[in-house]
């Protein structure tokens, strides 16, 4: 039997991390310090510059919007339907969806997307010289660790299928599988974070060998060593939005954070693609520490928390 508190923790954890992380998205770590001399701890702290003022305070961004496209499809179809999810992402993107990444934009524009999203994603990936490995899939995959959480093999397959709707690179697939599988393992009642992480990395070696190498190299370093704002300082080439960076931030928080708030606070103060990094970290920390571990204010001041609550109620009735 799943823990309702952990299930809620995953959904709210993702949304809260995304909403708070918007406050430092695309800032370098030194800009974060200038923007937030007292630190960023409340949605009301979020500086309303040209980028951030597009969202009301307490709103989440594309990461959680796209997770909800997957969530709605699962609730409606009661099974995984790739074309249906692709259609929902398309609808969202073409009806005012904000914050859409370059990979998703390119794939949505491919003529075959609605008919065969995997073919569209493969084409865009090939055209990138098989190098494009953005974080736009790992940011939305948490819900797949909740749905059928008690069937780990099924979760790996489903995470791969949903990832490839837009992101075909094996590093993206490995990132999604790792996050979804870990969330499901916490929901199945496992508690040993380090053992679970080792097992997850073992599993994703199936898709790409570089993932565990990357994680091994950073996981026991100080958070600064992940260089989450790489590309935002003078002279750096742009690495913002790399899937393994988001995965690394999430896994680092999962291993080292003493609480939900500790993990999210540390991740967002590094800048970079902070909403995505904190969305991934938030979902993982929510699975570990549960809904009860998320600060009340971060939940109650979400701009659209009701939208999460309605869906969770339906999900629980199905499970």
Of 134 and 201, which has the nearer Cβ to Mg ion?
134
Q: From the CB of 218, what's the least distance to Mg ion, in Å?
A: 22
Phi, psi torsion values for 134, nearest 5 degrees: -85, 170
Reduce the DSSP state of residue 2 to 3 states and report it. coil
Q: From the CB of 60, what's the least distance to Mg ion, in Å?
A: 8
Stretch that binds Mg ion, among 8-16, 61-69, 84-92, 248-256 (CB under 5 A): 61-69
Residues in Cβ contact with 262 at an 8 Å cutoff, skipping those fewer than 6 apart: none
Of 62 and 227, which has the nearer Cβ to Mg ion?
62
Q: From the CB of 196, what's the least distance to Mg ion, in Å?
A: 26
- Does residue 63 touch Mg ion according to CB under 5 A? yes
Of 99 and 282, which has the nearer Cβ to Mg ion?
99
Structure tokens at 169: 């690179």
Residues 245-284 that bind Mg ion (CB under 5 A): 275
Of 62, 65, 208, 229, which one interacts with Mg ion (CB under 5 A)? 62
| Helical H segments across the chain, by residue range | 4-21, 29-35, 62-77, 82-94, 102-109, 117-127, 143-146, 152-163, 170-187, 193-204, 210-218, 243-256, 260-268, 274-289, 296-300, 305-318
Measured CA to CA, the distance from residue 310 to residue 301 in angstroms comes to 17
Reduce the DSSP state of residue 27 to 3 states and report it. strand
Q: Which residue's entry shows tokens 């898709």?
A: 207
Q: From the CB of 199, what's the least distance to Mg ion, in Å?
A: 29
Structure tokens at 31: 């800009």
Residues 1-60 that bind Mg ion (CB under 5 A): none
CB 70 within 8 A of CB 145: no
- Does residue 227 touch Mg ion according to CB under 5 A? no
CB 139 within 8 A of CB 280: yes
Q: From the CB of 9, what's the least distance to Mg ion, in Å?
A: 20
CA angle 65, 68, 73 (to 5 degrees): 135
Q: From the CB of 100, what's the least distance to Mg ion, in Å?
A: 9
Measured CA to CA, the distance from residue 86 to residue 64 in angstroms comes to 15
Measured CA to CA, the distance from residue 154 to residue 108 in angstroms comes to 26
Structure tokens at 284: 């993982």
Q: From the CB of 62, what's the least distance to Mg ion, in Å?
A: 4
Of 80 and 104, which has the nearer Cβ to Mg ion?
104
Q: From the CB of 78, what's the least distance to Mg ion, in Å?
A: 28
Reduce the DSSP state of residue 251 to 3 states and report it. helix
Of 9, 17, 97, 99, which one interacts with Mg ion (CB under 5 A)? 99
Residues binding Mg ion: what is the number (CB under 5 A)? 5
Stretch that binds Mg ion, among 6-14, 97-105, 115-123, 165-173 (CB under 5 A): 97-105
Of 54 and 190, which has the nearer Cβ to Mg ion?
54
Of 88 and 140, which has the nearer Cβ to Mg ion?
140
Of 14, 61, 193, 277, which one interacts with Mg ion (CB under 5 A)? 61
Of 219 and 228, which has the nearer Cβ to Mg ion?
228
Of 193 and 277, which has the nearer Cβ to Mg ion?
277
Of 59 and 63, which has the nearer Cβ to Mg ion?
63
Q: From the CB of 155, what's the least distance to Mg ion, in Å?
A: 24
Measured CA to CA, the distance from residue 47 to residue 36 in angstroms comes to 8
Q: Which residues here bind Mg ion, judged by CB under 5 A?
A: 61-63, 99, 275
């Amino acid at each position: 039997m799943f823990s309702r508190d952990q299930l809620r923790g995953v959904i709210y954890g993702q949304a809260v991390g995304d909403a708070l992380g918007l406050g430092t998205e695309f800032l370098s770590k030194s800009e974060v310090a200038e923007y937030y001399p007292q630190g960023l701890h409340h949605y009301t702290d979020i500086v309303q510059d040209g980028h951030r003022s597009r969202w009301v305070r307490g709103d989440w961004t594309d990461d959680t919007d796209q997770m909800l496209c997957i969530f709605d499809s699962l609730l409606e179809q009661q099974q995984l339907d790739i074309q249906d999810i692709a259609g929902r992402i398309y609808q969202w993107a073409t009806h005012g969806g904000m914050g859409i990444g370059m990979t998703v934009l390119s794939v949505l524009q491919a003529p075959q997307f609605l008919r065969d999203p995997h073919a569209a994603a493969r084409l865009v990936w090939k055209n990138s010289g098989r190098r494009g490995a953005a974080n736009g899939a790992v940011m939305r995959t948490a819900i797949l660790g909740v749905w059928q959480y008690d069937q780990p093999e099924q979760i790996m397959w489903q995470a791969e299928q949903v990832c490839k709707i837009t992101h075909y690179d094996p590093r993206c697939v490995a990132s999604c599988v790792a996050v979804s599988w870990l969330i499901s393992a916490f929901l199945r009642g496992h508690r040993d974070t380090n053992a679970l992480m080792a097992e997850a990395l073992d599993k994703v070696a199936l898709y790409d060998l570089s993932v565990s190498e990357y994680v091994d190299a950073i996981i026991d370093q100080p958070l600064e060593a992940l260089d989450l704002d790489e590309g935002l300082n003078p002279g750096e080439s742009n690495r913002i939005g790399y899937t393994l960076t988001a995965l690394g931030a999430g896994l680092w928080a999962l291993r080292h954070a003493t609480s939900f708030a500790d993990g999210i606070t540390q991740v967002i103060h590094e800048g970079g693609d902070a909403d995505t990094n904190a969305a991934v970290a938030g979902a993982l920390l929510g699975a570990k520490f549960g809904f009860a571990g998320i600060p009340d204010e971060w939940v109650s001041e979400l701009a659209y928390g009701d939208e999460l609550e309605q869906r969770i109620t339906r999900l629980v009735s199905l499970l």
